[in-house]
Chains A and B, each alone.
Chain A
């Protein structure tokens, strides 16, 4: 889909996506000329139809993770299904992203079935956005923008 600012006859540009947590989705588009912003709001069914195809409205900010749909959407996954559930280590090399203690604690609350993937997604998000330290606040932001509901 495309959004057109009729007044300016200008195609609007995807600005951000938010998932309020009730199964709905909001995608904001901005007119590059008049700066007007509109939001597309989809109901849970429309949101789900798109996500069940493994697709993100507005495209992807961070790379798709292996088995992303299976790991994020399946209920009742085994704790020991994947070997990547260990908490992040304190960073050794300069340039690697730092996890605050509170962020590590919060990550430990994520089910092990999906934890390793969530860890990589947050790290990718931090890298993408030039964030040096992952804190619970950063996790909240990434969660909303990337659509990590239930993770």
Chain B
């Protein structure tokens, strides 16, 4: 015999698991925390190894040098590098019940990254049994990203830059978590492979109504350390092609600069910005980027 009883909707009392309530509260905390952030821009590439994280850190430093209040959130939880790239070495983040202070880079950028929290060279690992971890790893990473947004005392910012890992999942997470994503900066190298990898992600962004602010082409030639002359390094012109294809702007072409790479290894971004060909090119990009956001 079938038991007769009321259904979920007919039982009028509150949901005792209060899951929806908790999810809503999480979302509200993100919005509240970012209320003082004027613009939020994500930085994306199609593949790794295109110098995205260093470029993002350099852009953040260049913005700070212009007197802007800048935050840099490293959404690459598995391969974090924003703190190292920004020259942040100290940890011991201040924390109380209201939140965690971000680290501050020598350039004055407020930085939050998993590389501030993990032991040197320790991979990101979660407490659970590894066997079924694929099931919830995505959810955990999304939750960690949410905590980086809502639990860090970002304060008032002119711009929060979010350094995304390769692939599109984190971009989707970010767009869902943020009350407003103001735009996307795309970084590529000249090669066709890089172009096609990031083109897919740009289409996805467009489908979701995310504005692409522009494309930046990295390793666009080789800047001679002696004479500063730029010579060809990779064949291709992915930056120009992507900009045309997706109806956006080519914000700049940054030459590979051995000097800059050397400084980057030492976390000396100020040296890059003040004394290298790449630094000057990045500063030009920043000018255009800020105009695109405004």
Interface centre among B15, B16, B144, B152 (most CB of A within 10 A): B16
Selecting from B44-52, B90-98, B209-217, the interface stretch reads: B90-98
Contacts of A116 in B (CB 8 A): 95
For A39, what are the chain B residues with a Cβ–Cβ distance below 8 Å? none
Hey, what's the 0/1 contact readout for A76-93 against B, CB within 8 Å counting as 1? 111011111000000000
Q: What is the number of contacts between chain A and chain B, taking CB atoms within 8 Å?
A: 146
How far is B135's CA from A44's CA once the two chains are assembled, in angstroms? 12
Q: Is the CB of B129 within 8 A of A52?
A: no
Report Cα–Cα, A75/B126, bound state, in Å: 5
Q: Point out the residues of chain B lying under 8 angstroms from A53, CB to CB.
A: 19, 23, 139, 143
Q: Is the CB of B129 within 8 A of A83?
A: no
B151/A66 in contact, CB under 8 A:
yes
Interface residues of B in 101-149 (CB under 8 A from A): 116-119, 122-129, 132, 135-136, 139-140, 143-144, 146-148
B22 lies within 8 A of chain A by Cβ: yes
Whether A70 contacts B127 in the complex (CB less than 8 A), given A2-B15, A57-B17, comes out as: no
B98 touches A73 (CB 8 A): no
Would you call A66 and B97 a contact (CB within 8 A)? yes
A84→B95 contact, CB < 8 A:
yes
Residues from chain B with Cβ under 8 Å of A84 in the complex: 94-96
Residues on A with beta carbons closer than 8 Å to the beta carbon of B91:
78, 80-82
Is B98 a contact of A74 with CB atoms below 8 Å? no
Least Cβ–Cβ distance between A25 and chain B, in angstroms? 11
Do residues B136 and A52 form an inter-chain contact, with CB atoms below 8 A?
yes
Q: Do B18 and A58 have beta carbons less than 8 Å apart?
A: yes
Which residues on A sit within 8 Å (CB–CB) of B117? 70, 74, 77-78, 81, 113
Q: Determine if A67 and B22 form an interchain contact, defined as CB atoms under 8 angstroms apart.
A: no
Question: Does B294 have its Cβ within 8 Å of any Cβ on chain A?
Answer: no
A6 / chain B contacts, CB cutoff of 8 Å: 3, 5
Per-position 1/0 for A100-128, Cβ under 8 A of B: 00000000000001001100100000000
Distance of B100 from chain A, by nearest CB (Å):
5
**Contact yes or no, B95 A82, CB < 8 A:** yes
Give the shortest distance, in Å, between A52 (CB) and chain B (any CB): 4
18 inter-chain pairs at a CB distance below 8 angstroms, sorted by A residue, are A1-B17, A2-B16, A11-B16, A44-B129, A49-B135, A53-B19, A54-B26, A55-B22, A58-B16, A66-B98, A69-B140, A69-B143, A70-B148, A73-B126, A73-B127, A75-B125, A76-B118, A83-B93
4 extra interchain contacts, Cβ-Cβ under 8 A, other than A66-B98, A78-B118, A150-B127? A52-B139, A68-B151, A69-B140, A74-B117
Residues of chain A whose beta carbon lies under 8 Å from any beta carbon of chain B? 1-4, 6, 9, 11-14, 23, 29, 44-45, 48-50, 52-60, 63, 65-70, 72-78, 80-84, 113, 116-117, 120, 149-150
